[in-house]
Amino acid sequence: MTKSTETGLLARTGLPRLALALLLLLPLGALAEGPKADVKIDNFTFSPNTLTVRKGTAVTWTNHDDIPHSIVAIGSSMRSKTIDTDDTFSYQFDKAGTFNYICGLHPHMKGTVVVTE
């Protein structure tokens, strides 16, 4: 008798605890994610061509062309591998400043990321 009562109590107290744990985990997960922004590569053009983001933003480039591209920053270490069709490259900007970049395969393709404090 006592055993089944205990099990019933556990079932009753266990569920709210699980719900509470999930509620606590969700905001933490959202914080870890941080802000995000996207740049499309389409028809040999970065869009938006100049992207302005807050410090800490992860920018993702997606290649919509049927030929590969890459992202090579001028004067900084950011450099992607070759981005094939429908592939992406992400980079988190942790410093404020203006980051000019080109496509490593087509250097006439130019873009800018402005990172604000």
Name the site residues for Cu ion (rule: CB under 5 A): 69, 103, 105-106
Q: How far is CA 37 from CA 10, 20, 49, 96, 104, in A?
A: 44, 31, 13, 15, 21
The least distance separating Cu ion from the CB of residue 58, rounded to whole angstroms, comes to 21
Residues facing 88 on adjacent strands: 62
- Which CB sits closer to Cu ion, 57 or 80? 80
- Which CB sits closer to Cu ion, 59 or 103? 103
- Which CB sits closer to Cu ion, 55 or 73? 73
The least distance separating Cu ion from the CB of residue 116, rounded to whole angstroms, comes to 27
The least distance separating Cu ion from the CB of residue 51, rounded to whole angstroms, comes to 17
